[in-house]
Structure 1
Amino acid sequence: MVNQKHAMAYGLAAVLLWSTVATAFKLALASLAPVQVLLVACSSSVLVLALVLWLQGRWRAVFRLRRAQYAQSLAMGLINPCLYYFLLFGAFDRLPAQEAQPLNYTWALVLAYLSVPFLGQRLRAVDIWAGLVCYSGVVVIATRGEVTSLTFSDPLGVGFALGSTLVWACYWILATRDSRDPVVGLFLNFLFGLPFIALACALTAGFTFPSGRSLAAAGYVGVFEMGVAFVLWSQAMKKAENTARVSNLIFISPFLSLVFIHFVLGEVILPSTYLGLGLILTGLWLQQRRVVAREASLAHG
């Protein structure tokens, strides 16, 4: 049933969890290779999503799909979790969390641009301005404020972060054509992607996992970032009377994330991070205004 208060509560819970994951990424990567973190996280996510489906009485839906939908799970699983998280963890492995996290938020703008050729949406002037503002923030963060020098702190790390936004946006465009239940679809994507991650781990970092904080953090990422947060956000979208109001909650996440990064990881937050993040969020806000206006016009016929 539609209930805006419940939707906001679910949305806030998801945003709070997402705000912790940049910190969890760095804790996990302290002792584990990116592919090892991905293996532990994906395995944990598969287990928690299976539990959610069982508790919700939807487990049988996993076995009632068409053959083409299982093939779809394989293809989408290679994109997410395999390619997306490989790039994302690679970025966090090379960059401070305060740099990698804001860069990842630009995926929403990439999605808006890719929606033009793939979904037939129109590109307006506000989208161009939003992009200029947003990516000026990327330059500020990536150069740590030394904008005129254009010397990036870690070019490969920045490339991984921006590459992950492209992969994530492509994944969501494909997801718009996915008729499966969202949780069932995500469970199968992760289940089908897991053997490829295990193979990559076997061929590279191996299966020697040090116990302790890093392993626990990798499990946390799988349970909460890949699993529970997605389920909570899906519930928020289902119950929302106004999806734009719920979507705006995501703007809280990067600032909360910096709090955890500072107090848990001990990173000194640079002025360039605040400035760059402000520019990125301003660009996303400009782009989001267009989405809200379109929803309002559709609602009023």
Structure 2
Amino acid sequence: MAGTCSKIAGNLRRQAGFYAAIAIACWSTVATAFKWALEGLTPASMLFIATTSAIAALFILLLAEGYRGDFLSIPWKAWKRSALLGLVNPFLYYLILFKAYSLLPAQVAQALNMIWPLILVLLSIPILGQKIRWVGILAMIICFAGAMFIALQGDPLSVLREGMHIKNPWGVVLALGSAFLWAVYFLVNMKNTLPDEISLLMNFLFAWVYIALFLLVSGLLSLKNGPGISSAASLKSILSGIYIGVFEMAV
């Protein structure tokens, strides 16, 4: 019995390591995919392609897992909640994040966006009543110092020479804003009672409507005020957008 249990445990560890490696491989490539997509797409059109491909991927995943008639039994309250969550993520979160990537180097935007755990801890103090020990406070100070170092793009001495001068402050604000939105989404989504795949697909369905309306209004404004909103899409950009939707958003 002990030998059987150890074999099962070993198989589970190998499977966990395999899936972790796949996840790391996917997530580590998204910054490059963001930049490739933005070479020929606006953040809004990029989000539309990614959201559409994410919906398709999630729908196929749900069918493969046996979810077929589950949407018919979802309460109306859950749909209203998804309408709000879909507005936060993926619509606003990714729209802001993609804009940040269009303004900043990929390594800077990605690093600033990844401070969302720090923001999550700070928000959990008033919202969840969490208490933080001195070790946690020290860790947050180190994280904040790292974020400032990245925002100054590796030249902290520029503060002494030129004062607080950030090379692209708007891009930094957007990257940090996306981190804040993700932390808020994470906290609100903790109360989700539906299977993750179903709730995620519901959020993406609402986000698809939001981004479609956004593109429609943006297109009308561009026709009225002249060119400047749209960009010429290339096959490389479109495929990158699809990759983002499947491997960054859905999987």
Judge same fold: TM > 0.5, yes or no.
yes
Aligned to 1:189: 203
Query: CA deviation digits over 1:262-299, x for unaligned, max 9?
Result: xxxxxxxxxxxxxxxxxxxxxxxxxxxxxxxxxxxxxx
Tell me how far apart the structure 2 counterparts of residues 195 and 209 of structure 1 sit (CA, whole Å): 23
Q: In 2, are the aligned partners of 1:113 and 1:123 still within 8 Å (CA)? A: no
| Structure-to-structure mapping, 1:194-273, within 5 angstroms | 194-204=208-218, 210-228=233-251
Q: In 1, are the aligned partners of 2:40 and 2:234 still within 8 Å (CA)? A: no
Tell me how far apart the structure 2 counterparts of residues 13 and 179 of structure 1 sit (CA, whole Å): 27
Aligned to 2:226: none
Please state how far the C-alpha of 1:224 moved relative to its aligned partner: 0.9
In structure 2, do the counterparts of structure 1 residues 100 and 207 end up closer, same or farther at CA, with 3 Å as the change threshold? closer
Larger deviation: 144-153 or 48-57? 144-153
Q: Look up the equivalent residue of 2:200 and give its one-letter code.
A: L
Larger radius of gyration: 2
Q: In 1, are the aligned partners of 2:41 and 2:231 still within 8 Å (CA)? A: no
Aligned to 1:178: 192
Q: In 2, are the aligned partners of 1:84 and 1:168 still within 8 Å (CA)? A: yes
Q: In 1, are the aligned partners of 2:124 and 2:130 still within 8 Å (CA)? A: yes
Q: What is the aligned-residue identity percentage?
A: 38
Q: Say whether residues 1:133 and 2:147 are aligned partners.
A: no
Please state how far the C-alpha of 1:77 moved relative to its aligned partner: 0.3
Q: Which runs of 5+ in 1 are unaligned?
A: 229-301
Q: In 2, are the aligned partners of 1:45 and 1:226 still within 8 Å (CA)? A: yes
> In structure 2, the residue corresponding to 1:115 is in which secondary structure?
helix
Tell me how far apart the structure 2 counterparts of residues 8 and 118 of structure 1 sit (CA, whole Å): 34
Hey, which bits of structure 1, 4+ residues long, moved more than 4 A?
A: 205-209
TM-score (norm 1): 0.72
Q: Say whether residues 1:124 and 2:147 are aligned partners.
A: no
Q: Which runs of 5+ in 2 are unaligned?
A: 1-7, 220-228
Q: What is the root-mean-square deviation in Å for CA atoms of aligned residues?
A: 1.8
Query: CA deviation digits over 1:91-143, x for unaligned, max 9?
Result: 10100101111111111111111111222211221222111111111111111
Tell me how far apart the structure 2 counterparts of residues 78 and 153 of structure 1 sit (CA, whole Å): 30
Please state how far the C-alpha of 1:209 moved relative to its aligned partner: 5.8
Pairs aligned (count): 228
| Structure-to-structure mapping, 1:3-18, within 5 angstroms | 3-18=12-27
TM-score (norm 2): 0.86
> In structure 2, the residue corresponding to 1:210 is in which secondary structure?
coil
Q: Look up the equivalent residue of 2:110 and give its one-letter code.
A: Q
Q: Look up the equivalent residue of 2:82 and give its one-letter code.
A: S
Query: CA deviation digits over 1:40-74, x for unaligned, max 9?
Result: 10011001100000011113222221110011111
Q: In 2, are the aligned partners of 1:41 and 1:222 still within 8 Å (CA)? A: yes
> In structure 1, the residue corresponding to 2:167 is in which secondary structure?
coil
> In structure 2, the residue corresponding to 1:185 is in which secondary structure?
helix
Q: In 2, are the aligned partners of 1:26 and 1:93 still within 8 Å (CA)? A: yes
Q: In 1, are the aligned partners of 2:50 and 2:244 still within 8 Å (CA)? A: yes
Larger deviation: 184-193 or 209-218? 209-218
Tell me which of 68, 75, 80 is aligned to 1:71: 80
> In structure 2, the residue corresponding to 1:88 is in which secondary structure?
helix
Q: Look up the equivalent residue of 1:220 and give its one-letter code.
A: Y
Q: Say whether residues 1:146 and 2:155 are aligned partners.
A: yes
Aligned to 2:90: 81
Aligned to 1:164: 178
Please state how far the C-alpha of 1:207 moved relative to its aligned partner: 7.5
